[in-house]
């Protein structure tokens, strides 16, 4: 049940190791289902996957993907929507069938509908083989913010002030950051057959430590990963600075 923690020297190495794990999953089952993440941490690994695909080393043509989350109220064309991010960093640059790529529908104002449809799609697809995760400074995964319980399914969340501030660097102004999002639940994430989390930089050192060695609590959503049988966490040495190796 232990998490496999890999501490590497730098972002380049982190990106390579993570891309290799995802590529192995695709090689083992070319029709696998990947759960994907946004944020700055996975940008490097997506670039490595694009390189591998363009070099003919892997193909995404039969791969299905489900992204973790999406801001509520942003159209897919908005340059800060997670759909736009995924198209830009991965989908438009590899041979994937766009119809098989899924992101919660942030443009659907009916939260119950948007979330139920997404959860059903994942279930009907037979679940997720490998779920990629980033890590928020407060331990959030997807947009599952610290709270009193672990939400099971895809649901509507109110973003915390800390997350709004952290993500405001990508928007023109903090007022432009959406206050709500749709996200896979902790149950949805934990149902994935394997999980790969990446985190970088000294600002993540404390939370990586707490996830690895702290109590399992919904106040640190990623702490529940300790209960998953197949989790790999890759961090650079700054993010891994408080962990023994």
* Residues engaged in binding ligand GLP (CB under 6 A): 37-41, 68-69, 134-136, 142-143, 163, 167
What 113-118 contacts at long range (C-beta under 8 Å, 24+ apart), as own/partner pairs, is 114/72, 114/182, 115/153, 115/154, 115/155, 115/156, 115/182, 116/154, 118/66, 118/154, 118/182, 118/184
* Residues forming a β-bridge with 64: 33
Candidate list 138, 180, 228, 238, residue with the active-site label? 138
Catalytic: 180? no
Residue 183 is encoded by which pair of tokens? 């996200």
Report in angstroms how near the CB of residue 91 gets to ligand GLP at its nearest. 17
| Nearest CB to ligand GLP, comparing residues 58 and 103 | 103
Q: Has 95 been annotated as catalytic? A: no
- What minimum distance in Å lies between the beta carbon of 198 and ligand GLP? 8
Least distance CB 167 / ligand GLP (angstroms): 6
Catalytic residue among 70, 105, 129, 145: 145
For residue 35, with 0-12 CB atoms within 10 Å meaning exposed, 13-18 middle and 19 or more buried, which class applies? buried
Nearer to ligand GLP, 58 or 192 (CB): 192
Cα separation, 128 vs 22, in Å, equals 13
4 close to 35: Cβ distance less than 8 angstroms: no
228 labelled catalytic: no
Quote the CA–CA distance of 107 and 129 in Å, as a whole number: 27
For the bound state, the minimum distance from the C-beta of residue 37 to ligand GLP, rounded and expressed in Å, comes to 5
Is 69 an active-site residue? Answer: yes
Nearer to ligand GLP, 58 or 236 (CB): 236
Helix, strand, or coil (residue 1): coil
User: Among all residues, whose Cβ is closest to ligand GLP?
Assistant: 134
Distance from CA of residue 108 to its chain's centroid? 21
Supply the minimum distance, in Å, between the C-beta of residue 68 and ligand GLP: 5
Q: Name the residue nearer to ligand GLP (CB basis): 11 or 143.
A: 143
Cα 143 to Cα 147: distance, rounded to the nearest angstrom:
12
Nearer to ligand GLP, 134 or 151 (CB): 134
**Residues that are catalytic:** 69, 138, 140, 145
């Amino acid at each position: 049940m232990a998490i496999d923690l890999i501490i590497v020297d730098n972002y380049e190495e982190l990106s390579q190791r993570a891309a290799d794990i995802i590529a192995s999953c695709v090689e083992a089952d070319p029709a696998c289902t990947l759960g994907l993440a946004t944020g700055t941490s996975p940008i490097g690994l997506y670039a490595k996957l694009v390189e591998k695909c363009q070099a003919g080393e892997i193909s995404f043509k039969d791969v299905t993907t489900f992204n973790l989350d999406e801001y509520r109220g942003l159209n897919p064309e908005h340059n800060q929507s997670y759909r736009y991010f995924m198209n830009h960093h991965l989908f438009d640059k590899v041979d994937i069938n766009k119809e098989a790529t899924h992101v919660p529908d942030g443009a659907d104002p009916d939260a119950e509908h948007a979330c139920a449809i997404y959860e059903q799609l994942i279930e009907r697809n037979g679940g997720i083989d490998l779920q990629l995760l980033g890590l928020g400074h407060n331990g959030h995964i997807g947009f599952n913010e610290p709270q009193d319980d672990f939400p099971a399914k895809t649901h509507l969340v109110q973003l915390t002030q800390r997350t709004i501030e952290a993500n405001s660097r990508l928007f023109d102004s903090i007022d432009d950051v959406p206050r709500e999002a749709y996200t896979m639940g902790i149950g949805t994430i934990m149902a994935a057959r394997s999980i790969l989390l990446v985190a970088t930089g000294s600002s993540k050192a404390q939370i990586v430590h707490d996830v690895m060695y702290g109590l399992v609590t919904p106040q640190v959503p990623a702490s529940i990963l300790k209960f998953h049988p197949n989790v790999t966490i890759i961090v650079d040495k700054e993010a891994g600075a408080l962990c023994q190796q």
